[in-house]
Amino acid sequence: MSRNRQPALPTRVDESLPPPVDYDCPRAIVTVTRDFDAAVLSPSHSHPRGELLYAEHGTLTVTAAEGNWIAPPNRAIWIPAGVTHVTRHTVNTEVRAVFIRHDAVPDLPEHCTVVQVGRLLRELILTAVRLPALYDEDGADGRLVRVLLDRIAVLPKEPLHLPMPKTPKLRAIAVDLADRPSLPLAKAARYEPTIFRSALLGRDRAYIWCLAKARAPTPCSGTARRWAECRRCRLQPWL
């Protein structure tokens, strides 16, 4: 736990990620479960199937070219097939992933997004990850999977997304802060003059401000207006 009582963020790359998955399995879904005792991040990778990434406990963050998506409790992250990304897991994260065949659910999002996980969907996911790989499609297991897919098809989205800055210099700073979450506040704060004294877009400035001030004990104090630009106040408890 960090000094400001936020979960420790990962700094170690786990080369065993992503775990091996039989994407050619002749079933609509393939599942993976894995528990992490330490905070880690994955190498950059992609999947041939779309992935619903859910943490039964802990917090997940996915970083792709378009930005960062954060899944606190009762949320999951949808990652479309072929999207290159990095996942970050906090300490004691229990990951439950469902990989969905492209023709199993029509019109799934084409971009990463955070979705709500209600009680029903949570129990469906936790039951599905315990099914045999070649579950009986015509039996009770197959019916359960169809209900799971029906619920995934209508998932409500959540605005827990921070777009990456477009400006090269600010984008480099954002990547640096994301890759080195243990960077001391004193060093992170030095980016502030670059942000607020430039003529660059406000959204980019707000994004860097969010990442830098994530180390502050009281990040919203006196800065609510700047933080509100990208809903950082709403995200702060989980970063």
Which of 50-59, 62-71, 211-220 shows the highest mean pLDDT?
50-59
Given a cut of 70, whether residue 92 has pLDDT beyond it is yes
- Average confidence (pLDDT) over 31-58: 94
Given a cut of 50, whether residue 231 has pLDDT beyond it is no
User: What pLDDT is attached to residue 71?
Assistant: 87
Given a cut of 50, whether residue 190 has pLDDT beyond it is yes
Question: What is the rounded end-to-end Cα distance, in angstroms, of the chain?
Answer: 12
Fold assignment, 12-158 = Jelly Rolls (2.60.120)
Given a cut of 80, whether residue 114 has pLDDT beyond it is yes
Rounded to whole angstroms, the Cα distance separating 156 from 39 reads 28
Mean pLDDT of the chain: 75
The Cα-based distances of 42 to 16, 64, 98, 100, 229 in angstroms read 8, 12, 17, 20, 29
pTM, two decimals, is: 0.68
Window from 121-135, 172-186, 207-221 with minimum mean pLDDT = 207-221
Q: Contact, 231 vs 222, CB < 8 A?
A: no
Counting Cα atoms < 13 Å in the Cβ hemisphere of 112 gives 27
3-class state of residue 138 by DSSP: coil
Rounded to whole angstroms, the Cα distance separating 210 from 58 reads 21
Categorize the per-residue pLDDT at 170 as very low, low, confident or very high, splitting at 50, 70 and 90.
low
User: What pLDDT is attached to residue 174?
Assistant: 60
User: What pLDDT is attached to residue 3?
Assistant: 43
Tell me the two tokens of residue 39: 């905070």
Given a cut of 60, whether residue 118 has pLDDT beyond it is yes
DSSP 74: T
Given a cut of 70, whether residue 97 has pLDDT beyond it is yes
Categorize the per-residue pLDDT at 117 as very low, low, confident or very high, splitting at 50, 70 and 90.
very high
User: What pLDDT is attached to residue 67?
Assistant: 85
User: What pLDDT is attached to residue 197?
Assistant: 40
Cα 5 to the center of its chain, rounded Å: 20
In DSSP notation, 46-92 reads --SSEEEEEEEES-EEEEETTEEEEE-TTEEEEE-TT--EEEEE-TT
User: What pLDDT is attached to residue 65?
Assistant: 86
User: What pLDDT is attached to residue 68?
Assistant: 85
In DSSP notation, 111-128 reads S-EEEE--HHHHHHHHHH
